[in-house]
Each structure stands twice: as C-alpha cells, then as structure tokens.
Amino acid sequence: MPRATFRFYASLNDFLPYPRRQVEFEHEFGGRGSIKDMIESLGVPHTEVDLILVNGQSAGFETIVQDGDRIGVYPVFYTLDPAAESRVRPAPPEDFRFVLDVHLGKLAAYLRLLGFDALFPEDYDDANLARIARDEGRILLTRDRGLLKRSMVTHGFCPRTTNSRQQLQDVLRRFDLFDRIAPFTRCLRCNGRLEPVDKAAIYEELPAHTREAYDEFKRCASCGQIFWKGSHYDHMTRLVESARDGR
C-alpha cells in the first residue's frame, strides 16, 4: 500500500493525537487522494492550513498525493505573510468580519465589545453558518471541526479552549487584530453600529436616575438600544485593556 510521510507544524498539532504531534509520521492510503482530503482525514480542518510543501515544493489542496511523498503542513500566520502564490487558500478578508456558532455567544459579545463585526445567528444550522461565511466573506469561528471542513468555508478558526476570555485572546493573536480594536463602537445586543446621540433626543426614554447622572450617550443604529457609561463601564474597560495587553 502507498505511503506518504507527513509533518504538521505549530498550532496544527492541536488536532493530532499525541503520538503524531511535532514529529514526522507515515500515513498509508489507498487509491488517488488529494492533499486536502488526506489532511482532513488526519483531523486537521483545511481552514487552519495556509502552506503545504510536498518534497520541498509548495503545493495546492488539489494536489494528488503520491507514494513516497514527504509533506509538510503549516498553519496560518497573519504576521508572517507567505507569498500569494504559495497560499493554499484565498487571501484573508481585510475587514475581519466574523460569524460564530451557537456555542460561542460570550466570545461574540467580547468581539463586539472590542468593535468587531461578530454575527451570532443562534437559530442557524451548520449549513447556513457555512453559507453565511461564504456569501458574506466572514471568518467562521466554531469548535466544530466538521463544520470547518465544509468546502465552502475558506476562512475559519477553531478555538482550542472553552474559556471565553482565552478564546478572545486566541482570536486576536490568530488574526493579529490588536491594532484594530475599537471598543464601544458596536451594540452588544445586535452587532449594530453605535452612534453618539444628543441627550435631549432620548431624554424621555431614559430612567429617571440616568437622566440626572449621565450626559454622554450612544444609540445602536440597528436596534435602537441606548448605552451610557454606567456602573458596568469600569469592568468593561478593564476587560478591553486586558485584551489589548494580551499580545
């Protein structure tokens, strides 16, 4: 039976069983198979891969694996930009908009707090999430590796932990987003843009104690929710600063 030697690098090892991490290993295969199919059969979603070397030469996902091939598989490095001709996927979207599955609601809220467009359609199934990622050019965030393996998904990320704060840091590092943080510019409820609003225009909508205690307000352009620097503001500011310090 034909065999190929694989070596996965850096964060891709998170998807492999321990005996195959950080080492070369042989993989037997039958028939003709593309590198993409073989990589995913080994447990690594294609959205996590940005560069493949076959016998020292860059190769695409469609390359057919041959007996005796030596294959190196590398993750996405947004701070180390491979040449465009070497990438196995299209260049990442410049606006870094996200769509998250139903299990990542707190991460969606954190991303919105930092000013990122984070769509969180709670009632959408996997097929619709993949379609949204494709049609709207969004990066899919999910811990469901099977969802990331769908062919229509070109950019995605699988958080390795269930801790929402750590998930946020991992997303910021993965996509090198620290310089793009713009806190308090998106609605935590619906993801809409926040715009300054004159106090007089919303005076009747405010609780009595808020009318007297605060003068600066923002309103969501999508859902109309009103925001001000209430008792929770200091806590949220500390969260923002903690995220910025996590480079």
* pLDDT score for 85: 52
Does residue 204 belong to any structural domain of this protein? yes
Helix (H, G, I), strand (E, B) or coil at 182: coil
Q: Are residues 163 and 221 in the same domain?
A: no
Helix (H, G, I), strand (E, B) or coil at 5: strand
* pLDDT score for 72: 96
Does residue 245 belong to any structural domain of this protein? no
Q: Are residues 110 and 158 in the same domain?
A: yes
Tokens (6 digits) for 91? 């260049």
Q: How many domains does the chain have?
A: 3
Alpha carbons 176 and 180: distance in angstroms, whole number = 9
* pLDDT score for 193: 97
Q: Which DSSP state fits 205? A: G
Beta strand residue intervals within the chain, DSSP E: 3-8, 25-28, 49-54, 57-58, 70-75, 98-100, 118-119, 139-141, 156-157, 194-197, 217-220, 226-227
Alpha carbons 12 and 62: distance in angstroms, whole number = 19
Pairing of strands 118-119, 98-100: parallel
Q: What percent of the chain has pLDDT over 70?
A: 95
pTM attached to this predicted model: 0.88
Does residue 243 belong to any structural domain of this protein? no
Nearest partner of 20 among 44, 1, 3, judged by Cα? 44
Following CA atoms 58, 62, 68, 70 in sequence, which dihedral angle do they give, to the nearest 10 degrees?
30
Q: Are residues 210 and 174 in the same domain?
A: no
Instruction: Give the domain extent around 202.
Output: 194-231
Alpha carbons 166 and 164: distance in angstroms, whole number = 5
Mean model confidence pLDDT for the chain: 92
* pLDDT score for 134: 94
* DSSP assignment string, 70-88: EEEEEE--SSS---GGG-S
Look-up of token digits 């009595």? 208
Q: What percent of the chain has pLDDT over 90?
A: 83
Does residue 209 belong to any structural domain of this protein? yes
Q: Are residues 112 and 169 in the same domain?
A: yes
Does residue 61 belong to any structural domain of this protein? yes
**Terminal Cα-to-Cα distance of the chain (whole angstroms):** 46
Digit-coded pLDDT (tens) for 68-101:
999 999 997 655 555 555 677 777 788 899 999 9
CATH number at residue 71: 3.10.20.30
Does residue 242 belong to any structural domain of this protein? no
* pLDDT score for 92: 72
Alpha carbons 108 and 116: distance in angstroms, whole number = 9
Q: Are residues 78 and 34 in the same domain?
A: yes
List the chain residues with pLDDT less than 70: 77-86, 247
Query: Of 145, 180, 215, which marks where a domain is finished?
Result: 180
Query: Of 151, 180, 209, which marks where a domain is finished?
Result: 180
* pLDDT score for 90: 74
Output the CA–CA distances (angstroms, integers) from residue 163 to 111, 158, 167, 173, in the order listed: 14, 13, 6, 15
Contact status, residue 99 vs residue 119, Cβ threshold 8 Å = yes
Does residue 54 belong to any structural domain of this protein? yes
* pLDDT score for 84: 53
Q: Are residues 168 and 209 in the same domain?
A: no
Alpha carbons 238 and 204: distance in angstroms, whole number = 31
Does residue 240 belong to any structural domain of this protein? no
